[in-house]
Chain A
């Protein structure tokens, strides 16, 4: 409620702010489109965005409908996160400068039949525009946007320390597959078991989001996520945080089929979150090795600073062999 009142006041003064906007803030740095099988990940840490001047300018980027949605959130922190999520999506896509300069305000969005947000372009905009795909996820402390060209993408974020109110195995028995329950049950260390639960949850979410179907469109017990180590091919729990090998998904609707056209990556982001990325695999040309997934991670405060991230702040756990 407090932010909302402040936000109203800033809207009144935004006419003055607009003039100083370009002078006080840096322009968005344009970026080349990701290549095939590459995903660009952009993230914002809400706690690092403190300036009310900046937040009021961010609000101006949103559509009236988005502003209304932000205002419906209960409480300052939730409003701020909702605002930053929309700002991250709009400014990120604008950086790719489809058809020349793109104003983040001018982007239009629609939803698919399951409610997945997508970009909407005018008929006269060129074909390449419609190939840009994105997906976002956020927790109270981090907001992530993934961008690809051509490939549907799903991203999911969860705090590593996220606690369940329910017992993990009881929850898994209710919502996950028997294989996944068996996998979690076999982990004796409760800390490691909890970590693997969160990893499984984010991977499953990223899959249904990549498919554009969401949790209700594809119940989690209809498909299994497995970690396959390169040596023996069987899934096994590992307490290590270094590369656990390949992540695969198997549909339970058709036990003989592999959903082999989807590729996953699991990262530890900013030391505090697990981030799961799911995208469609490159169609392998006969005889050629398919292109492996590549990730480029950037931390941003739009109009202020962008930072390419590598090392411990974007540590790959699995999937990019």
Chain B
């Protein structure tokens, strides 16, 4: 699935050489989704191919992830949030997958779990598997 991220933000602050003590800092910290009000412009500038997940699916995944990791209410969680960056270890990821399977009535191969590294990736995989399900 192709997706183009129009905004590529790097934490360049740390990769610059150390400043001499008489230089003032011109380092600007730009963060993805760290601020409370979010970055709606960044989200909409990300181009998706039409088979990307519905917002309701993404929201449901976020809810499950929040619950699994016991994230505080003010903690930011965006579709691009990397599970590892929000403190999910392998056991958390496996539990999240299990909760998603139960919620959406799907079965996720273990081999696919390495492709589920963000909320968006989980939601996209869920939609793909849901569509493949035989009609009830």
Report which A residues bind B (CB closer than 8 A): 1, 4-5, 7-9, 11-16, 59, 64, 67-68, 70-75, 78, 115, 139-140, 158, 162, 164-166, 171, 174-175, 201, 205, 214-217, 219-221
Contacts and interface: CB of A to CB of B under 8 A. Distances in A.
Interface stretch (B26-34, B41-49, B118-126): B26-34
Contacts of A7: 14
Given A8-B29, A75-B87, A216-B110, 11 more contacts: A12-B19, A13-B18, A15-B19, A71-B11, A72-B82, A158-B91, A162-B91, A174-B98, A215-B110, A216-B111, A217-B111
B14 A216 contact: no
Contacts of B27: 8
B112 to A, nearest CB: 7
24 contacts: A4-B29, A8-B27, A11-B16, A15-B19, A59-B14, A64-B14, A67-B11, A68-B15, A72-B11, A73-B87, A74-B75, A74-B85, A74-B87, A75-B87, A162-B91, A165-B99, A166-B99, A171-B95, A171-B98, A174-B101, A175-B94, A215-B113, A216-B114, A219-B110
Given A205-B90, A215-B113, A216-B111, A72 B85 contact: yes
A209 to B, nearest CB: 10
Contacts of A67: 11, 14-15
B98 A12 contact: no
B5 to A, nearest CB: 15
Nearest to B111: A216
Contact of B110 (A8, A73, A78, A220): A220
A140 B87 contact: yes
Contacts of B16: 11
B95 A1 contact: no
A11 B95 contact: no
A214 B21 CA distance: 45
Contacts of A8: 13-14, 25, 27, 29
Contacts of A221: 110
Interface string B102-122: 000000011111100000000
Interface string B1-25: 0000000001101111011110101
B77 to A, nearest CB: 9
Nearest to A12: B19
B98 A68 contact: no
Given A5-B29, A74-B34, A115-B114, A11 B21 contact: no
Given A8-B25, A14-B18, A158-B91, A68 B85 contact: no
A1 B30 CA distance: 11
A139 B89 CA distance: 8
B18 A166 contact: no
Contacts of B68: 165
Nearest to A64: B15
Contacts of B89: 139
A186 B93 CA distance: 27
